[in-house]
Chain A
Amino acid sequence: MSLMHEMGERALRLGVPFSVHLDLTYRCNEQCVHCYLDHDDHGEMTTAEIKHLLKEMADSGVFILTLSGGEIFLRKDFFEILEYARDLTFCIKLKTNAVLIREAQAARLRDLGVQSIQVSIYSHRPEVHDAITKVPGSLKRSLKAIRFLKSQGLRVVMANVLMTENMHDYRGTQALANEIGAEYTMDPTVTPMMDGGRTVLELNVGESDLRNVFRDENLIGNVDEFCAPPRAANEDDLNSLPCSAGHTSCYVSPYGEFYPCVQFPLSCGNVREQRFIDIWRHSERLKEVRSIRLRDLSSCSKCAHGGSCTRCPGLAFMEGNMRGPSTQDCEKSFARTGIPSLNLLSKKQEQDKDKDKDQDSPPRLVQIQLVPAITGRRLAEMGGGAVSAIAS
C-alpha cells in the first residue's frame, strides 16, 4: 500500500475531508461541445469568501486541493487565491485549458510549488481539437503553454476526453504527450450536464469503438487483466464503499454549493451559509451517501459485474437513483468483458420498444416533441414561423 493510500485510509478512520475539488468559476474561454457546465456567472464567491473557505478547509484537515472550473485563469484574483492556498500548505492540483498561461505564469506556478497541472487536450490535430473547443488556434496556445510549464520543471498531465468527435485521435494525442514529456490520461466518459441535461451523452463513443479502445495495450497496459471476465461481489465487496465521494473527498462550486463530488450534484449545503466542517460532519444528505454499501444496491449487488465494476454513484444519481446502476458503467463493463448486465439488457429492450413505437406512429403535428433540445426560450427566439415550419 502506498503512503498516500495509507493516509487516505487514516483520513477515512478520522473522518477527515482529505481531498477537495473547488471550482473557482464556471466561466470559460472555450466552449467545448461536451461540457457539462452553464458558463454564465450566477454570483461566484468573492476573493474574501474563497479565502475564508480555504482557511476553514485547512483547519478541517484538507490536504489535496484541486482548483478547477470553468477556466481558472479567467479569475483576476487567481494568483492571489493560489498564493493564499499555498501559504496554508495545501497540496495543489490545477485543471485548466492553459490557453492563458505564458512564460511568466508558468514561472509563478513553479515558484508557488503547485503539485501538478492537468491540461485538456482533445487531439493532436488542430482541426479536431479546435472544433471541440470552438476556439480557433486553441490547440496551438495550449501546447505552447504546456511547453512553458514543462520548461519550469512542472508536472503536466494531458487529459483527453474521448468522444465521437476525436475517437480516432487518442493514439496521436498520447504520442504528442510523450514527445512533450507530459503524462497522459484518457477518459471515455462524457457526463450529463450539471443541470441534468443528457443530450451531450450522444457524444459518447459507441460500443464497438469502446471495445477496441479497451483492448489497446499502449493505453490500458495489461489487456487480459483489464478485460478479464466479470466477477460477482463477494462478502468483502458487499461491505465496501462505492468510492471516496463524501467519505474522504467532496466538491464545492463557485457559488458555494457543497456536493459529495463534482460528478455527484447532490446539494448537501452551502458554505456561504454554513461552516465547511459543519456541512461535512452534519449534513443529513452526506450521512445518507456515507451509509451506502454495495450490499444496499439492489441491482449492482446481484450483478455478474458487482465485484469488478467501476460504477460511479454520481452517474447513478444523475440517472435518477444513487442506489441504482449507472448505465454508462454498465456499458463500460460490457465493452471490457462482452457480458451485458441485466440493467443494460433492459435499457436496450426499452430503446428497441421506443424505436418500434416511433416507426408505427403515423406522421403528426406533435413531431415537435422529438426535438427535446428546443427549450421554451429557444422557441420564443425562433418565433412562430420557425415553429410551424418544424411542425408541418
Chain B
Amino acid sequence: MKKKLYVARSPRIAARKLGEETLVMSAQGSTLFTLNPTATVLWQAADGITALDAIVERHICSEFEVEAEQAIRDAEALAEDLARHGILLISEKPISSTRNLTVQEQYR
C-alpha cells in the first residue's frame, strides 16, 4: 500500500493571498513565487496533520471538480515541486508545529 504523505507550510517563508493567487517569498527574499488557485488551496490546507490525499479529497476535488486519483497524482507532483523550492515540507509522518521547532533549536 502506498504510504501517506503529510505536508506543512515552511516556517521560513513569507506569504499572502492576493486576489485568487498567493504570493510566496522564500527566506531572505531570494525567490518570489505566485501560487495559482489550486496550489493556493493545497498551501492553505497544508497543516502538517492532514494527509495529502485527504486534503485533495476535501478541498481540491470538491472545489475544482476533478477525479480523485488524477488529482492526488497532480497534488503529489505539485507538493514535491513546492518542497524543492523550500516552500513546503513533506514527510511520511505528521509534521508538528514547525514554528516552535525552529525557535527552540537555538536554545539547544
The answer for the CA separation of A23 and B48 in the assembled complex, in Å, is 34
A62, B25: Cα distance in complex, Å: 14
Residue of A nearest to B104 (CB): A111
Please report the C-alpha to C-alpha distance between residue A49 and residue B11 in the assembled complex, in whole angstroms. 24
Q: Mark B7-36, 1 if CB is under 8 A from A, else 0.
A: 001011111111100010101110011100
Near B by CB (< 8 A), chain A positions 10-55 give 10-11, 14, 16, 18
Please state if A83 and B14 are interface contacts (CB–CB under 8 Å): no
Complex contacts, B34 vs chain A, CB 8 Å: 3, 7
Contact flags A97-111 to B (C-beta < 8 A → 1, else 0): 000000010011001
Measured CB to CB, the closest approach of chain B to A102, in angstroms, equals: 13
Interface membership of B105, Cβ < 8 A: yes
In this assembly, does B1 line the interface, its C-beta being within 8 Å of a C-beta of chain A? no
List A contacts of B29 (CB < 8 A): 91, 115-116, 155
Query: B93-108 interface mask toward A, CB cutoff 8 Å, 1 = contact, 0 = none?
Result: 0000001001101100
Contacts of A155 in B (CB 8 A): 28-29
**Cβ-defined contact, B102 with A89, below 8 A:** no
Q: Contact at B19–A14, with CB atoms within 8 Å?
A: yes
Asked whether, in the complex, the Cβ of B14 is within 8 Å of the Cβ of A92, the reply is yes
Interface check A148, CB cutoff 8 A: no
Interface residues of A in 53-97 (CB under 8 A from B): 58, 61-63, 83, 86-87, 89-92
Of A90, A108, A112, most B-chain CB atoms within 10 Å? A112
A153 at the B interface (CB under 8 A): yes
- Please provide the chain A residues from 140 to 172 with a CB less than 8 Å away from any CB of chain B in the complex: 153-155
Complex Cα gap A246–B82 (Å) = 34
Kindly state the separation between the CA atoms of A83 and B11 in the bound complex, as whole angstroms.
11
B28–A61 touching, CB < 8 Å: no
Question: What CA separation (Å) do A28 and B106 show in the bound complex?
Answer: 28
Size band of the interface chain B makes with A: 20 to 34
Contacts of A83 in B (CB 8 A): 99, 103
Contacts of A153 in B (CB 8 A): 28
Chain B contacts for A86, CB-based, 8 A = 11, 99
Q: Which residues of chain A are within 8 angstroms of B103 by Cβ–Cβ distance? A: 83, 108, 111-112
What distance in Å separates the Cβ of A267 from its nearest Cβ neighbour in chain B? 27
- Nearest-Cβ distance from residue B50 to partner chain A, whole angstroms: 19
Shortest A109–chain B CB gap in Å is 10
Total count of chain A residues near the partner, CB < 8 A = 31
CB distance from B106 to the nearest CB of A (A): 5
Nearest A residue to B29, CB-CB:
A115
Interface residues of B in 71-94 (CB under 8 A from A): none
Q: Which residue of A lies closest to B9 (CB)?
A: A89
Q: How far is the CA of A204 from the CA of B42 in the complex (A)?
A: 53
Does more than half of chain A's interface fall in helix, strand or loop, or is it mixed? mixed
CB-CB under 8 A from B14, the residues of chain A are 63, 89-92, 113, 115
Specify which chain B residues have a CB less than 8 angstroms from the CB of A62 in the assembled complex.
16
- A83-B103, A86-B11, A107-B106 are known contacts. Are A115 and B16 too (CB-CB below 8 A)? no
- Expressed in whole angstroms, the minimum distance between the Cβ of A91 and any Cβ of chain B is 3
Closest to B105 in A: A111
Given the known interface contacts A7-B18, A89-B16, A111-B106, the answer about A63 and B28 at a Cβ–Cβ threshold of 8 Å is: no
Looking at the complex, which one of A89, A111, A112 makes contact with B15 (CB distance below 8 Å)? A89
B28 and A154 contacting across the interface, CB-CB below 8 Å: yes
Residues 104-130 of A, flagged 1 when their CB comes within 8 A of B and 0 if not, give 100110011111100000000000000
Q: Distance in Å from the Cβ of A23 to the closest Cβ of chain B?
A: 20
Q: A107-B106, A153-B28 are in contact. Are A7 and B23 (CB under 8 A)?
A: yes
Interface residues of A (CB under 8 A from B): 3-4, 7, 10-11, 14, 16, 18, 58, 61-63, 83, 86-87, 89-92, 104, 107-108, 111-116, 153-155
B-to-A contact residues, CB < 8 Å: 9, 11-19, 23, 25, 27-29, 32-34, 99, 102-103, 105-106
What are the nearest 6 A-B pairs in CB distance?
Answer: A91-B14, A63-B16, A113-B12, A89-B15, A115-B29, A113-B27
Additional A-B contacts beyond A115-B28, A153-B28 (14; CB < 8 A): A3-B34, A7-B18, A7-B32, A10-B18, A58-B16, A63-B16, A86-B99, A90-B16, A111-B103, A111-B105, A111-B106, A113-B11, A116-B28, A154-B28
